[in-house]
Copies of this chain bind each other. A is one copy, B any other.
Amino acid sequence: MKLLKDLTPLSSAKKIVYNYLSNYLKEINSVKSVNILNALNKISAKEIKAPIDLPYFNKASMDGYAVKAENTFGASETNPIILDIVDRDEIYENEAKKIFTGEKLPKNANAVVMEEFCNVVNGFLEVYRSVHPNENVSKIGEDVKHGDVILKKGEIITPYHLNMLASLGIKEVEVYTLSFGIITTGDELVDLDSVDINKDFDHLISKGKIINSNSYMLYGLVKNLGFTAKIYNIVEDKKQSLKRAIKLALKENDVLLITGGSSVSDRDITVETVEEMGKILVHGVNIRPGKPFGFGVVENKPVFMLSGYPVASAVQFELFVSRYFKKRKKITLPLKRNIASELGRVDFVRVKVDREVEPIRITGSGVVSSLTRCDGYVLIPENVEGYEKGDLVDVYLI
């Protein structure tokens, strides 16, 4: 049993894992160029700068008439200014051209008079209000300037990025591609597909068996990083079986997640097995929930050893995998209630937010409903004994 003082501090553990991942990603060339439609929700592997200005010509931002602003000075309801209406790609002194929102301004025009402030009378345009230069004009580079960063490395590619990329004529982007193998161990586990909850419920209770659920969660978490995930059959708590499963999954994937069997207790066969097959870089971290986290390397591939407890494994995945690839939005709000913590460990507190931050009341790390109900989390550092009602705290939104 590892005591608190033997645990690796979260910051050191993250550094070890992140460093390994950074080198690994370079080494295996996990970057692929894909069509922008296929890049949706994937992680950008390269910073992209705008190759051109956007818009790349001055355009009308309103329906109306393109004019030289100077020609409208002094116009009013009672003293309209009269302009010639023309239909060419350039205008001259005292001329106007009908224009629709989004259309390119004719040469020499520098403003648009909105439709409702003019009127066509006997083939001439009466203008009832003056416009200043650039009024109702989307100017070159107003949205994006040539060279502006439009997509950062590590950013999740949103539908709005797709718009931006297409507007700039960019058809492909580089994204991270990784395949994750998901192994679950535990003699107490039964497979979801083999269970009929109506028929088997009493049997599960009498045998103390639970249904494997972590594989499904991890599958979803991996998918939501834009990666592929493969779930392997449940492995019994025997080293030989686990070794076989690890070998197979390593052959088929870039990264391994093993859940269950990694508590810092004497039943800890996952860590021992990984140690025999490769090396352990982290085992036991001062985070709660999530203490029995392990990270190792087998055949040069990263192996994450996650807790069998759903909330603990979700926390471990968040801090050691998701957060490596994906920034979380951080907001700061006052606490609605005190939260206690213990010196020497980092507490991962699930919270709801509205105008305050409300810690979700929970009694155990097995409480999955705390995850489906939370909006984000607060990390209480190891040197803080807790926060008081009203304190401003940082919330990472999930």
Contacts and interface: CB of A to CB of B under 8 A. Distances in A.
A121 interface: no
A391 interface: no
A162 to B, nearest CB: 4
A218 interface: yes
Given A56-B204, A159-B217, A159-B219, A211 B166 contact: yes
Interface in A351-383: 353-355, 363-369, 371-372, 375
Given A142-B366, A168-B211, 20 more contacts: A54-B368, A56-B205, A102-B188, A102-B308, A103-B208, A138-B364, A143-B368, A144-B368, A159-B220, A159-B221, A161-B372, A162-B216, A162-B217, A163-B213, A163-B217, A166-B192, A166-B211, A329-B353, A331-B331, A331-B355
A169 interface: yes
A237 to B, nearest CB: 10
Contact of A40 (B102, B223, B310): B223
A277 interface: no
A216 B163 contact: yes
Contacts of A161: 372
A219 B37 contact: yes
A18 interface: no
Contacts of A363: 138, 142
A165 interface: yes
- Which interface class (under 10, 10 to 19, 20 to 34, 35 or more) fits A? 35 or more
Nearest to A263: B101
A328 to B, nearest CB: 11
B265 A166 contact: no
Nearest to A114: B1
B164 A213 contact: yes
Copies per assembly: 2
Contacts of A61: 364-366
A221 B205 CA distance: 44
A100 interface: yes
Interface string A187-199: 0100011011110
A368 B167 contact: yes
A250 to B, nearest CB: 22
A236 interface: no
Contacts of A162: 213, 216-217, 219-220
Interface in A115-171: 115-116, 138, 142-144, 148, 150-151, 158-171
Can you list the 10 inter-chain pairs with the closest CB atoms, starting with the nearest?
A159-B220, A169-B197, A104-B208, A332-B355, A166-B213, A163-B217, A160-B371, A162-B216, A167-B213, A63-B265
